[in-house]
Chains A and B, each alone.
Chain A
Amino acid sequence: MRENNTSIKGDQRAQSALTEGVRWASDLTRARQAGPSLSHKDWSQAGFSTAAVHAGTMDDEATGAVGTPIYQTSTFLLGDEQYRSVEEGYARDRFIYTRYGNPNQWALQTKLAALEGAESALVFSSGMAAITATVMALLDKGAHIVASNELYGGTYNLFNQEMPTMGISVSYVDPRDYEAIEAAIRPETQMMYFEALTNPLLKLVDVRRLADIAERKQVRLVIDGTFLPPVCCRMIEQGADIVIHSASKYLNGHSDLIAGAIMGSRKLVDMVWPRLLAFGGSLDPHACFMFERGLKTLAIRMAAHERSALSLASYLEKHPLVKRVYYPLLSTHPDHDLAQRVLRNGGGMIAFEISGGDTAALELLKHLKIPKQATSLGGVESLVSLPYNTSHAGYTSKQRLDMGINPGCVRLSVGIEDPEDLIADFDQALKAL
C-alpha cells in the first residue's frame, strides 16, 4: 500500500490514511501533523533571529549551494504516489503543480510557521488574496462577521462590497469595545475579524480578550497582524485561530514584492488551501525566494524599526506643531499598559496629527527629504502618507472622523534609517511650515 520514502516527492512524514484491512472510518490511522515541510526540525526553542535565518531554508544537496534554490517551475514529474495523494485527498503534502505547492513556498511557509509558533502556514500572491481565501474558507452561506470598524480600506471594500453578494453580512464594531463586540455576535456569526494594531491610529487590540469571547461564542477569531509581525507579538499564542499578514509589509520588509501569508493550526490552514487553489492567488517561486531572503532579517529589522520609531515619536510628541502622536510604546498612548504586557517590540508605525489640517500635512510631506511619499509600510525605507487620500480614501470624511482620523493625520512607517537623521529631517520640514 505504501511506497518507500525515496519515491515520495513532498513531505516524507505525510502518508496515506489507507492500510490493508480498512473497512470503516474508525480504522483510518492518519493524524494531522505540522507542515507540510521538507524539514521537520523543531525551532520552538530557538530565538527569532535563529529561526528567521534557518527554519525551512534548504541547502542544495546536489551542489552544496547554501540557501534554498529557486525552483522556478510550474509543474512536477508525476508518479503513482502523487496520483494517490490526489485520489485520497493529501495533495497538499506532495509536489504536483506550483499553484498547489512548490519547494520555495514550503521553505517560506515553514519559516513563517516557526516564527509564529504555528503548525502550518500558506503564502499568497497578496495580502488581499490571503484575506479573501481565509474568509471564504471559514464562512458558510448566510454567515455573519463581527469586524473592527477601523479596518484597512481594502479589507473594508471586500467586506462591504463583495461579501453581501455572497450572502455574508458584516457588523462593524469599535475594536476596543469588548462588550459591544460580544453583543454584536448573532446566532449565524461565524467569525470575528480584527486588526492587531489598527490603521492608522494604532489602537492596540487585546487579542486574548477577543479570543475569550470567540471561544465562549463558538466562533473563529481571525487577526490581521500586518502591523505587528511575530517578533512583536505571536497572535496564535494570544488565542487567534488564524493570523493573516500582508507580507508586502514587515515580513518581506524591502518594499520590493507583493505577497500575503496566513499562519494557524494545520486543520484550519488545510481548510484555506483549497480556496487558494480555487481563487488562484498563489505566490511565484521567485517571489518566494525574495520573500524568504527578506524574512531572514525580520528580527534585526524590527529592532531597528522600533529604535528609530520610538526616538522619532518622542521627538514629535514635544513639537509645538504636532497636536497628538500615536505610538504604542509612548506612555501617552491609550493602550500603553496593554502594549507593555503583550508586545516584545513596538514596531515602526507612527501616526500623528499636525496643526493646520490636511493642507499642512500635505505641505509637510513636500518638505520631508528622507521619508518617501508613498502608501504601504514596513519597508527598510521610511514611507509617509495621509490616510484621507490613501488607505482610508474608501471611507467618507464623517466615517474617518468617527474613527478618530482627524484632518492633519499623518501615517508614518518608520524605516531602519538612523533616528538622528530622521529627527533632523522632520525638524527642517516642520520649520518650513
Chain B
Amino acid sequence: MKPILECRGLTKKYGSTFALYNLNIALERGQIIGLLGPNGSGKTTLIKLANGLLRPSGGQILINGSEPGVETKKIVSYLPDRNYLGKHMRVDEIMAYYNTFYDNFSLERASGMLDALSIDPRARLSSLSKGTLEKVQLILVMSREADLYILDEPIGGVDPAARDYILHTILTNYNENATVLISTHLISDIENVLDHVIFLKSGQLVLNASVDEIRTQHRKSVDALFREVFKC
C-alpha cells in the first residue's frame, strides 16, 4: 500500500527564503503523528501543500500516491489554523452544509459531539466564543470518515478540560486505517496519544521517531527533548 502522505525532496520558497527545504518523509496508515517545530519552522506550509493551498517550488508531495487535487480532498479532512466559516451561519446550517458537501460526513456523529459539548445547534457562529468556535470546527473535521486528518493547532485556544475532550474525540473517531497528523506547540498535552513525532527546524527535518523510541533513547519526554533541541 502507498503511504498516505509522502514528501519527496519537497521544497517551498517564498521569494528568496526557503520555508521547506528538501523534505523527505512518508507517513504510515493507522498512526497519530505529531508535527512539531518552533514558529516559522514550516509546519503550516507543509500542511497547506498537503491540501493543495500552495504548490511546491520543487520536489513532490503525494497523498495516497496522487498530487493534491479533487480526489485527494475527498479523503483528507483538514482543520486549518484559522476560522474559515461564514460567521452569519448557524451551527446546524454549517453541519448541513458539510453534510451536503462531503459524502463521508456523518451528521449523526456531529450531533452527538455537539450534544456532548453542550453546543446549541441553533446558535449563530458569530455568537460563539473563540474556544467554542474551535470546537465546532473540530467537530466538522472529525465527523468525516477520512483516510487522513490534518489538524493544524487543534487545541491551541481551548481550556484544558475541552482539550481532554478533543483528544478523546480524536481517539474515538479515527478508524484503525486512518492517519492523523497534528501540528501543535502543546506537546506535553498530546504526547501520550501520539505514535510518532516529526520535528521540523527551519524547513528541514531534524527528527522522525516514535514517542517510545525517544523516551527509551533519551530518557526524557518528547516535550523535554523539544525544549532541548529548540532552546532559544
A and B pair up = no
- Tell me the B residues contacting A by CB distance below 8 Å: none
- A residues sitting closer than 8 Å to B (CB atoms) are none
